[in-house]
Structure 1
Amino acid sequence: MIGRFNRTPTEQELERFLSTEGVKALAVKNYKDHAIILGDASVYTLSITADNEFQYVGSSWSGGPDRIDITAATQKTPFVGVIIHRDDVLEQGNKMKITFEDGNSVEESMNHEKAYIVDHPLEKLTNSSKAIVEVFNDEAK
């Protein structure tokens, strides 16, 4: 897992990791000691060790054109990744509401982007597979 002396990757290190792993990043979010990377059908938690080596946990899956994937690098996590493959949702989506396992929720504005990394509002570990994502259009439907 991510160690306490690890650090967030630099832009160059991130690019090298993406190239090495063959990942096209849809969304990247930097934290104090790691970065979260969402790819088309993958998610990684990446940090750099004291020896300047990559340390990461990741998973991938086969996606489909009519899906909205909710994901995280591990099942218990303080964030969820949302990847939207449906063109109608990308075009019409204005706002999304993510409800976490414990009932806390976050609303996020959508800008026709395909991927979002959404933190739990209290930074609590939550079961990513139990998160619920609702997408609303301009008419709140």
Structure 2
Amino acid sequence: MFTISEYYDRDRQTFYKTIQSVRENDMDMTGWLDYFITGLETQMIEVKARGERVIRRDVMTQKHGLNERQGKAIEFLLAHGELTIKNFEELCPEVNRRSLQRDLKSFLEKGLIKEAGAGPTDPTRHYVLS
């Protein structure tokens, strides 16, 4: 579910300033309505993007028989465009690094992701969706 308050919470100063402008402009709500509609539009775009990512993750998870932690990795990739082993460890702190590396290897073998970076020991190595 989306909440319009997420938009307002990002910049409380502008929120209160816009409300105050109604009083300062003889109760003309044009500025407030413009701000409100912009917030609504922004939130709807974000909700649509989140929904599309969740659906895509679920489809990939089912199609390729991925487990919950692998689904988390796919969701992260969809949201951020890339994933490092460090990101994966932060998503799944209870899982040892070797298991996460096996998950990444499985993704590579299934063609879900591709590796970016100079080589296996490159500290900038990361993964992107194929």
Higher relative contact order (CA 8 A, sep 6+): 1
Structure having the higher Rg: 2
Question: Which is strand-richer, 1 or 2?
Answer: 1
Shorter-chain-normalised TM-score: which range?
under 0.3
The structure that is helix-richer by fraction is: 2
